[in-house]
């Protein structure tokens, strides 16, 4: 019985203190003639503008469908989706007309009604899509001006996996960092909260 309890305890502790690291292979393709630029610290990501524009149009269309669905049911949702759809439409138009080297961080994309605090660009929604393109080898990545072909990703529990107090249990989660050579100098950062 003691052996079983000890094994179960160790089995519980192992994933709590785990850290995962893996490599992301990047695109080896030549750049398109029209690439948008997303810069974050020492990293520059080059993304085909046509890919961004088509993604924004798909998002806009799903919002138009939501407006049609909620049209007679909920005016608040109609306002929410109408405002969002206009922003996506404008951003898609800008990327369709953009020249090579267009700064993607100038696009104002967020979901919801107008909010002047969010009208600053540097959209998290667009950053998530760019991260997907990087993972799918559909974007080029430069680090300190040099093209790179691999990134590392580390997922580790914050607070060292310690779950000794109520605060530790309620405020724990995983930090996921994507980087080239140093975890502190990351291109993408995500925190997944696991507590209550």
What are 79-128's pLDDT values in tens digits? 999 999 999 999 999 999 999 999 999 999 999 998 888 878 768 899 99
pTM of the full predicted structure? 0.80
| Pairing of β 173-179 and β 186-193 | antiparallel
Tens digits of per-residue pLDDT, 17-48?
456 888 999 998 888 889 999 999 999 999 99
Pairing assessment for the beta strands 35-40 and 43-48 based on DSSP bridges? antiparallel
Mean pLDDT for the chain? 86
Query: What are the two backbone dihedrals, phi and then psi, of residue 21, each rounded to the nearest 5 degrees?
Result: -140, 135
Q: Which residues contact 106 (CB under 8 A, 6 or more apart)?
A: 121
Cβ neighbors of 11 (< 8 A, separation 6 or more) are: none
In sign, the C-alpha dihedral spanning 176, 126, 108, 71 is negative
Q: Can you tell me the distance from the alpha carbon of 92 to that of 125, in angstroms, rounded to the nearest whole number?
A: 14
CA distance 81 to 110: 11
First-to-last alpha carbon distance for the chain, in angstroms, is: 32
């Amino acid at each position: 019985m003691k052996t079983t309890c000890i094994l179960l305890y160790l089995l519980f502790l192992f994933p709590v203190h785990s850290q995962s690291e893996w490599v992301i292979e990047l695109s080896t393709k030549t750049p398109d003639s029209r690439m948008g630029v997303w810069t974050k610290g020492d990293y520059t990501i080059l993304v085909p503008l046509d890919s961004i524009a088509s993604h924004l149009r798909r998002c806009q269309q799903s919002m138009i469908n939501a407006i049609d669905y909620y049209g007679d049911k909920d005016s608040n949702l109609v306002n929410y989706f109408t405002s969002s759809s206009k922003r996506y439409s404008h951003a898609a138009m800008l990327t369709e007309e953009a020249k090579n080297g267009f700064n993607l961080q100038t696009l104002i994309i967020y979901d919801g009604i107008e909010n002047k605090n969010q009208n600053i660009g540097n959209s998290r929604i667009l950053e998530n899509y760019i991260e997907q393109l990087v993972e799918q080898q559909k974007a080029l990545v430069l680090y300190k001006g040099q093209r790179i072909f691999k990134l590392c990703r580390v997922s580790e529990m914050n607070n060292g996996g310690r779950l000794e107090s109520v605060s530790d249990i309620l405020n724990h989660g995983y930090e996921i960092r994507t980087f080239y050579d140093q975890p502190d100098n990351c291109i993408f950062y995500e925190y997944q909260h696991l507590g209550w």
